[in-house]
Structure 1
Amino acid sequence: PPRFIPQNTGCLRDDESEEKEKKIRMQTDVRQDVLAHRGSLSVGSWYPVGSVLAGLYSVTPLNEVVAPPLGMATRLCFSVEYRHSSEQLLVSLLRLGNLLPRFHSNMTLVELRLLPDDRRPRQAKARGTGPDPEFNDCLIFQVSAVCVLRSTLSVCVLSVQKDGKRHAVGRVLFPLEGELGQAGRVLWRDLDPEEETQLGDVQVSLSYSSSLQRLSVVVLRARGLQLLTDAGVCVQVSLQIHTQMVKMKSSCVVRGEQDPIFNYRMTFKLRPQHLDEACLRFELQQPKDRRSEPPALLGVLVLGPFMYARGLQLQHWMDMINNTQEPVKMWHRLGRAI
């Protein structure tokens, strides 16, 4: 600062001293002005580096709806909340993203069920068309606090043409256990693509005991089956290691019901080292009038490791391995035989 500059009045003339003081004041003012505008990050208090741009570090709020990038699978945006005081599950449908082009001009309809016991679907209709139709609907399920943790939310998306013909777009199965802690959180889930004809669902329970080397399977029930006759339905379960059939078991025939209850229990001997090589194949069959004829195949389900299954089928198998000696129940969609 100028006040610390030594004054040699004897050696310098007055005009020369004033000129030097003026020059020092100008340099000091320039430094202070630069530092005031550019922030406190500088090298030796002389060369300013810059300041932090807060916009680069913004975080999207949890309740903000952001569309998924183009090219991804069709996705559903929704949220769930459970109110213990009234024992109500609130499902808020917000929008769909990346709907396939062939469905853009159709009306989009959504059917919601609370598996396994809810038989009456709730419906919601989109308020527009195009690739990202919006719903903004809230649907309420009356369910106790004990049952809601055991339930799975099933959301089936349908595309309805002008003549009323429906096409299945896809479905989301959302287990509620462990997902009700953050109420109102916006969720995005990929739709599992549906076949044009829905073959129905089946509920299966799996458990494994490593000490006994025993795989326990229970086929509990099925729903929405496309029956061909009134001859009844049975389920055939086979254990397979690689391409080798190890063992096959069949249940008794349940007569004439679209939603049969089997409660068919069976066990298979399976060593722990084969858990990553084995799979279970479920076939829902309808016997023919003549015993000599092979039964009609209504649908197929394969549960197993990554070698055989994906999605919920793979998750069910991994949950069984990670929770030994505890039964793991889950609903699965039936597919066609390949």
Structure 2
Amino acid sequence: PPRFTAQNHGNLKNEEEKEEEEDRRDILAHRGSLTVRRWYPVGTVLAGLYSVPPLNEVVAPPPGMATRLCFSVEYRHSCEQLMVSLLRLGNLPPRFHGNIMLVELRLLPDDRRPRQAKARRTGPDPEFCDCFVFQVSGVCVPQSTLSVCVLSVEQDGKRHAVGRVLFPLEGELGQAGRVLWRDLETEDDTQVPCSELGDVQISLMYSPCLQRLSVVVLRARGLQLLTDAGVCVQVSLRIHTQVVKIKRSFVAKCENDPYFDHRMTFKLHSQHLDEACLRFELQQPNNVHSGERPPALLGVLVLGPFMYARGPQLQHWMDMVNTPQEPVELWHGLGRAT
């Protein structure tokens, strides 16, 4: 009968390890193959393929001392989406270098919920690198305006407005993908009256827990006085067409740039914030005390939600609603009574 030679178990083990090593080499040579037993190599990452140049080299700020915002805008007609890429700030004033920078984006006039981005570092040129998507139809997008408000947050949580950019989308969507730089509009940039009737500076603050709306008429400038009488401000709180409350300030001295700093408070429930508005009337009272002749009207301003206001007037109201317990100051141009 045939004779079988006994094999050593150690040799069998060595042969199995040798076969596995050969399989491994074969797999490494053909990484796309799926006929593997125990080894599943993925490969190595080539870091050179993923190296990103520094943001300073891609979007270096243009020369100048003004604080600038770097962003890009693109509209996708297939899905009716507006893509806004927020990149960085440039030439930030030194007093804000150590603070946290926040940016709030809205698409006026319909968007009431702000999109917020936080800078990834501090310093004179903080970076964001965030992308936001706004769902808006192709019919409405040319009539919309992108509002970008830059805020500085201190260590104690207090916020300060650095400036804002209002970017009308009409005529700008054809430059999709191009990096845009825009100067921030600050209070210092508004020293020239924005209307022929003059400007008024208003501070608004709403307290949800107290259900109270606080209004401070700070000052006015560039008024076109009609008489030598003083100037006062009448503020009326309205809900729809109903006048809820009317209050007046004291009569300031007769000058083109009167100073008021007059505070008024109104009771307003939270559910009426989208239905109420404030109407400001700058008046010159008559010298005749008979009361028959009405005061001379210098200009009118309405602050409120989308139902009543547009542009900066709407933005001021929405900033007040979205930052409760914090005063929001802004200059507004006076209009004619309608």
User: Where on the TM-score scale, by shorter chain, does this alignment land: which range?
Assistant: 0.3 to 0.5
TM-score by length of 1: 0.46
**TM-score normalised by structure 2 residue count:** 0.46
